């Protein structure tokens, strides 16, 4: 028996478990399907490309695949997610971004009391330990380490200079008062190591007597009786086990895991549950709906000089030296996430806010680092994604087996305005990349193979190359309408003691990378649970 059972030890669930167990009189069980996540692939920031590889031996990764995307030439997309303590914070690109203030104000306008920017900012600050120190926007005494990006690759400075020539401002802090412009990101790292939720929140408290962390524990279902969660069943070491619930269950399986777990527990759309022979415990039509992600596209260039990172023969020799440098001094490119330059710009002058994001990678990299022929060259990649896509997909069950992968349909670029915004964002970015001084570093474009002049050419390229930005959200959305799954206190609507806390509760995706927001959601969820227990 545990007072609280948290399902999923990722960016949100790890935070919820850590905060709830601060009270020694409260017992918490955390069930995580993956292992402890102690691998060097996780802790070394530069190993990101290795971590997301789609090989069976990669046990740190769920290695999902989407349904064929009908607006993307019916391509099925690879979707890596972290399967370990720390969840996707143990696998992500570590860019520290919160989104724009209007994103949270919009959540509040949708009827979600307590989620405006002013109300969530204290949780971002509470979580944060920023090496730049505290100010109105930042914290310096939370568990989550945030460090400055390494700007040393020459592609970065050339890109920022090309942007300046076109009057794009430089931005010193993308999480401060004004995020518009180009600059160098901050990252969730500390002293050359990844600062995942496991590293920051769970490692320091592993010896708490009131916190029971079970790894390789895949939840089968929440056992419901009369609208109350009474236990959670999970598979571990070849056996089905059960933990009784004293007070509440918090589902934090991520945007794919959480709706799947709810449906397997009989909570979801009636038709979908009955189709798979699952007894309906509580009908909720919105479970699995509203799935969305940022669509992104990559420009890939071969450079004139051998700078940056390469997996070719000379690059491999340099990389061996980089490993030596890393293990002896925690320095060099492996000590830093290789996506330091980027920013937020407007796809058209008429946009109210910057509406697309850029990430530069000093490696000719594409297709989730599976295009090895690009990576043996020298060069760089520019990733472009729009911030507020309108396309919506859905997650459904393949069958009633908890071990089965769900059907994931992101439905990218389904909405005609998403294609338009991507096209315009592509054009703005193309201008920067083909302008001086960056263009003087380029030997030739690899993807696309030349400057694209017409809308038709750009649209063809987008349909052939657009992918997702690893930011799925929205499948258990917070709100008040009929399709909402949780209320503003993250309680599953109509149930006494089940909450959801993770990326799935976002009613609309934020404009930016999603990890910091998931951590904020974990912080706020834990606070609300404590308040409700004390009331
Ligand atoms: C490759 C990649 C790159 C990214 N880059 C960035 C970036 O640079 N910056 C950024 O801000 N964001 C980035 N993100 C996104 C960000 O990391 C995620 O949005 C965030 O981690 C999601 O948090 P979550 O708590 O919703 O889910 P997760 O952190 O994914 O946690 C869900 C947890 O639940 C567990 N789980 C699922 N099902 C079960 C079950 N049945 N039983 C038990 N446990 C279960 C999973 O194993 C996992 O540990 C990236 C993500 C990926 C995958």
Query: Binding site annotation covers 129?
Result: no
Choose which residue among 6, 7, 8, 66 to substitute to test ligand 1 binding: the one with the highest number of ligand atoms within 8 A of its C-beta: 8
Could you list the beta-strand ranges (E) of 377-423: 379-386, 394-396, 407-409
Instruction: Tell me what pLDDT residue 193 has.
Output: 97
Query: Binding site annotation covers 367?
Result: no
Residue nearest to atom 41 of ligand 1 (CA): 219
- Overall fold of domain 150-184+295-386+414-465: Cholesterol Oxidase; domain 2 (3.30.410)
Residue spans of the domains in the chain: they are: 1-145+193-293+392-409+473-535, 150-184+295-386+414-465
Give the span between the Cα atoms of 137 and 129, in whole angstroms: 12
ipTM score for this prediction: 0.99
Choose which residue among 88, 99, 251, 370 to substitute to test ligand 1 binding: the one with the highest number of ligand atoms within 8 A of its C-beta: 88
Give the span between the Cα atoms of 418 and 390, in whole angstroms: 7
Instruction: Tell me what pLDDT residue 445 has.
Output: 97
Pairing of strands 189-190, 211-214: unpaired
What 3-state DSSP class applies to 174? Answer: coil
Could you list the beta-strand ranges (E) of 452-531: 467-468, 498-500
Query: Binding site annotation covers 92?
Result: yes
Query: Binding site annotation covers 411?
Result: no
Q: Which helix (H) or strand (E) holds 443?
A: strand 442-447
Residue 408, token pair as written in the block: 């994931």
Is residue 52 within 8 A of residue 79, CB to CB? The reply is: no
Instruction: Tell me what pLDDT residue 331 has.
Output: 94
Choose which residue among 7, 10, 500 to substitute to test ligand 1 binding: the one with the highest number of ligand atoms within 8 A of its C-beta: 10
**42 CA distance to ligand 1 middle (Å):** 13
What 3-state DSSP class applies to 291? Answer: strand
Task: Using CA atoms of 234, 238, 239, 243 in order, give the dihedral in degrees to the nearest 10.
Answer: -30
Instruction: Tell me what pLDDT residue 276 has.
Output: 98
Pairing of strands 28-31, 211-214: parallel
Instruction: Tell me what pLDDT residue 217 has.
Output: 98
Alpha carbon 453 to its chain centroid, in Å, reads: 33
**530 CA distance to ligand 1 middle (Å):** 24
Residue nearest to atom 35 of ligand 1 (CA): 8
Atom of ligand 1 nearest to the CA of 402: 41
Residue nearest to atom 37 of ligand 1 (CA): 253
**78 CA distance to ligand 1 middle (Å):** 15
Atom of ligand 1 nearest to the CA of 217: 43
**519 CA distance to ligand 1 middle (Å):** 11
pLDDT averages per 10-residue partition of the chain, 535 residues: 98 98 98 96 95 92 98 98 98 97 98 98 98 97 97 95 96 96 98 98 98 98 96 98 98 98 98 97 98 98 95 94 96 94 96 97 93 94 98 98 96 98 98 97 97 98 98 98 98 97 98 98 98 96
Residue 414, token pair as written in the block: 């389904």
Please determine, looking at this structure, whether the domain spanning 1-145+193-293+392-409+473-535 carries the CATH number 3.50.50.60: yes
Give the span between the Cα atoms of 447 and 17, in whole angstroms: 44
Query: Binding site annotation covers 219?
Result: yes
Give the span between the Cα atoms of 486 and 100, in whole angstroms: 23
**167 CA distance to ligand 1 middle (Å):** 36
Active site residues: 471
Residue nearest to atom 50 of ligand 1 (CA): 92
Instruction: Tell me what pLDDT residue 456 has.
Output: 98
**62 CA distance to ligand 1 middle (Å):** 10
Give the span between the Cα atoms of 158 and 370, in whole angstroms: 27
Instruction: Compute how many other C-beta atoms are within 10 angstroms of the C-beta atom of residue 131.
Output: 14
DSSP alpha helix (H) spans, 147-247: 154-165, 197
Residue nearest to atom 23 of ligand 1 (CA): 11
Instruction: Give the residues surrounding ligand 1 with Cβ less than 6 Å away.
Output: 7-13, 31-34, 52, 80-83, 87-89, 91-95, 97, 218-219, 252-255, 257, 261, 470-471, 502-503, 513-516, 518
Burial class (CB in 10 A: 0-12, 13-18, 19+), 111: middle
Residue 124: name the closest of 523, 400, 423 by CA.
523
Give the span between the Cα atoms of 349 and 31, in whole angstroms: 48
Instruction: Tell me what pLDDT residue 110 has.
Output: 97
Give the span between the Cα atoms of 437 and 163, in whole angstroms: 9
Residue 123: name the closest of 520, 392, 474 by CA.
520
Residue 38: name the closest of 189, 196, 188, 147 by CA.
196
Instruction: Tell me what pLDDT residue 138 has.
Output: 98
In the numeric block, the tokens 């190591």 are attached to: 193
Instruction: Tell me what pLDDT residue 364 has.
Output: 96
């Amino acid at each position: 028996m545990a007072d609280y059972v948290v399902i999923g030890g990722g960016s949100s669930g790890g935070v919820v478990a850590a905060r709830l167990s601060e009270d020694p009189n409260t017992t918490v069980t955390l069930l995580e399907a993956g292992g402890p996540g102690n691998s060097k692939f996780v802790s070394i920031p530069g190993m990101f490309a290795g971590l997301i590889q789609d090989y069976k031996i990669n046990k740190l990764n769920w290695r999902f695949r989407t349904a064929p995307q009908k607006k993307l030439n019916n391509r099925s997309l690879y979707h890596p997610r972290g399967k370990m303590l720390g969840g996707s914070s143990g696998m992500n690109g570590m860019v520290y971004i919160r989104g724009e203030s209007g994103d949270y104000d919009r959540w509040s306008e949708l009827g979600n009391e307590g989620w405006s920017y002013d109300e969530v900012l204290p949780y971002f600050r509470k979580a944060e330990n920023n090496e730049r120190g505290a100010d109105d926007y930042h914290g310096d005494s939370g568990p989550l380490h945030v460090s400055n990006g390494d700007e040393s690759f020459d592609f970065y400075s050339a890109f920022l200079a090309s942007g300046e020539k076109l009057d794009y401002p430089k931005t010193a802090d993308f999480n401060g008062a004004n995020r518009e412009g180009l600059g160098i990101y901050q990252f969730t790292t500390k002293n050359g190591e990844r600062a995942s939720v496991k590293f920051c929140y769970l490692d320091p408290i592993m010896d708490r007597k009131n916190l029971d962390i079970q790894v390789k524990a895949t939840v089968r279902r929440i056992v419901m009786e009369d609208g109350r969660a009474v236990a959670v069943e999970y598979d571990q070491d070849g056996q089905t086990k059960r933990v009784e619930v004293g007070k509440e269950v918090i589902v934090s399986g991520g945007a794919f895991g959480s709706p799947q777990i709810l449906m397997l527990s009989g909570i979801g759309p009636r038709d979908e549950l009955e189709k798979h022979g699952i007894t309906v415990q509580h009908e909720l039509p919105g479970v699995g709906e509203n799935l969305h992600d940022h669509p992104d596209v990559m420009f890939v260039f071969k450079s004139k000089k051998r700078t940056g990172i390469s997996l070719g023969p000379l690059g491999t020799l340099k990389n061996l030296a980089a490993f030596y440098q890393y293990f002896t001094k925690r320095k060099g490119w492996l000590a830093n996430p290789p996506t330091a330059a980027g920013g937020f710009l407007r796809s058209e002058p008429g946009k109210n806010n910057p509406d697309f994001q850029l990430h530069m990678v000093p490696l000719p990299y594409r297709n989730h680092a599976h295009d090895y022929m690009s990576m043996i060259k020298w060069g760089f990649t520019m990733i472009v994604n729009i911030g507020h896509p309108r396309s919506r997909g859905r997650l459904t069950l393949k069958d009633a087996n908890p071990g089965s992968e769900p059907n994931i349909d992101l439905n990218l670029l389904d909405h005609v305005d998403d294609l338009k915004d991507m096209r315009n964002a592509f054009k703005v970015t193309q201008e920067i990349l083909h302008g001086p001084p960056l263009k003087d570093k380029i030997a030739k474009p690899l993807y696309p193979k030349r400057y694209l002049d017409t809308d038709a050419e750009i649209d063809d390229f987008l349909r052939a190359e657009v992918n997702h930005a690893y930011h799925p959200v929205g499948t258990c959305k917070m709100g008040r309408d009929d399709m909402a799954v949780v209320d503003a206190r993250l309680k599953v609507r109509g149930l006494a003691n089940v909450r959801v806390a993770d990326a799935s509760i976002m009613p609309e995706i934020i404009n930016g990378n999603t990890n910091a927001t998931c951590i904020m959601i974990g912080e706020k969820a834990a606070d609300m649970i404590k308040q409700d227990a004390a009331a």
